[in-house]
Structure 1
Amino acid sequence: MSRLRYNRAGAEEHLRRQCPKLGAFVEIQGRFRLRVARDPDVFCALSRAIVYQQLSGKAAGTIHQRFCGLFDDGCPEPSAAAGLDMERLRAAGLSRNKALSVQDLARRSLDGSLAGFRRLGRMSDEAVITNLCQVRGIGPWTAQMFLMFNLGRPDVMPATDLGVQKGVQAVYGLRSLPPPDRVLRVTRHLAPYRSAASWYFWRAADTDLMTR
């Protein structure tokens, strides 16, 4: 497990101290175990994110495996991807929009407009999101996932994520699914460890808290 940019135990303690309701779920769920990807390759991470968009895990995994098979060593990289035409990308299972996104990702990786891993690591969260979102098919949610699961940033709250919304509803006993602005409002006090809070909200979305 790669290191986060913050202390796990410190994040857990902060959530317990700041929010008794979430703290009670932390006790139920146990230790904070968000995993950060070991591979620092931005192109690999974002091309995988593009492939997986709006697909079930099994279907996306199959297509991603075929996509990786287009490369000599099975590892996607921008110079080789830039030479792949639409027909080969579509034959691997990518939709036209996803194929165009991969092509744009390759171009921006090669021309330097998309920052590399080390450069992204020196940017603020907002600057990372802006840089990644210039790529076709990469939106704020994907950029936030990159911040959490690739850069290990501590204070990310993906308020548009359905799982987070369901978790917030469950933990706080809300009558209806909260829209993004309400998610941000009711979780503001959990900063600067909202990445850890998000992880617990995802767990809460899969837990029947009404029976406890």
Structure 2
Amino acid sequence: MDAGVDGAAERVAAADEEPTNASVAKVLRADPTMAALVDRHGPLDIAPADDEFGRLCTSIVNQQLSTASADAIRERFLEVLGGDPTPDRVLAADEAALREAGLSATKVEYLRNVADAFRDDERDFTREGLAGVSDEAVVDRLTEIKGVGAWTARMYLIFALGREDVLPLGDLAVRKGIEQVYNDGEELSRADMREIGAAWRPYRSYGTRYIWAAYES
């Protein structure tokens, strides 16, 4: 149920210095096109979220919405909850109030599914609980939750867990951005995009951030 959207609400805040470390900068700057983006947009960073559950709720709210709509609905969602998202608050929230906040019945169901999953003592979706688990295995675990598709799971890898080597080609802005930056806006296959992104390994999440920045500028 996920779709590539204008995902500025998903972007991590910029840092105050050169990307996380010299190794990241060295890899990105080895690609002349990416080097130009680094110079143009300045330092961008990847960092894990303080609240993994809240980040996942944000991704679900943002599904298939423009940035402006997603931001407005998220604010109303938080008002209904009476604070930052927690599994207990989501499960206790009045469905009618959530609908009035702008959430579809389907998204309310998805948010409650996620809340149930995070309350399951046998599953741990925190950064610590998923340490040592591969990116693809994390995606597999998350997509077992109805309402969490591959796009949402890869946003979780980047924005909740701070994983550094994710190339989310399910995101429309990433695909359009790569075509814009690397091929004058002309269509590229996903295989072509993966080949372009291979130059950013093992820091494709950082490269993705610069592609988003270029696309949104």
The normalised TM-score by structure 2 is 0.79
The residue number in structure 1 matching 2:89 is: 80
Q: Unpaired runs of 5+ in structure 1?
A: 208-212
Q: Which structure would you say has the larger RCO, counting Cα contacts within 8 Å and 6 or more residues apart?
A: 2
The residue number in structure 2 matching 1:10 is: 23
| Larger Rg, first or second structure (1 or 2) | 1
d(CA) in 1 for partners of 2:84 and 2:146? 21
| Letter matched to residue 36 of structure 1 | A
Which SS does the other structure have where 2:144 is aligned?
Answer: coil
Task: Please state how far the C-alpha of 1:113 moved relative to its aligned partner.
Answer: 5.5
Identify which of 18, 22, 34 aligns with 2:34: 22
Verify the 8 A CA contact 1:159 1:181 in the aligned structure 2: no
Identify which of 174, 198, 206 aligns with 2:208: 198
The alignment status of 1:64 with 2:74, answered yes or no, reads: yes
d(CA) in 1 for partners of 2:115 and 2:61? 14
Task: Please state how far the C-alpha of 1:157 moved relative to its aligned partner.
Answer: 0.6
Task: Please state how far the C-alpha of 1:146 moved relative to its aligned partner.
Answer: 1.7
What's the C-alpha RMSD, in Å, of the aligned pairs? 2.5
Work out the percentage of aligned pairs sharing the same amino acid. Answer: 34
| Letter matched to residue 79 of structure 1 | D
d(CA) in 2 for partners of 1:175 and 1:75? 39
Task: Please state how far the C-alpha of 1:175 moved relative to its aligned partner.
Answer: 5.9
CA gap of 1:177–1:151, structure 2 versus 1, over 3 A, is same
Identify which of 96, 115, 138 aligns with 1:106: 115
The alignment status of 1:52 with 2:39, answered yes or no, reads: no
Task: Please state how far the C-alpha of 1:183 moved relative to its aligned partner.
Answer: 1.1
Which SS does the other structure have where 1:156 is aligned?
Answer: coil
The residue number in structure 2 matching 1:96 is: 105
Task: Please state how far the C-alpha of 1:37 moved relative to its aligned partner.
Answer: 5.4
Which SS does the other structure have where 1:50 is aligned?
Answer: helix
Verify the 8 A CA contact 2:49 2:159 in the aligned structure 1: no
CA gap of 1:9–1:134, structure 2 versus 1, over 3 A, is same
The count of residues paired between Structure 1 and Structure 2 equals 201
The alignment status of 1:36 with 2:47, answered yes or no, reads: yes
The normalised TM-score by structure 1 is 0.81
CA gap of 1:206–1:177, structure 2 versus 1, over 3 A, is farther
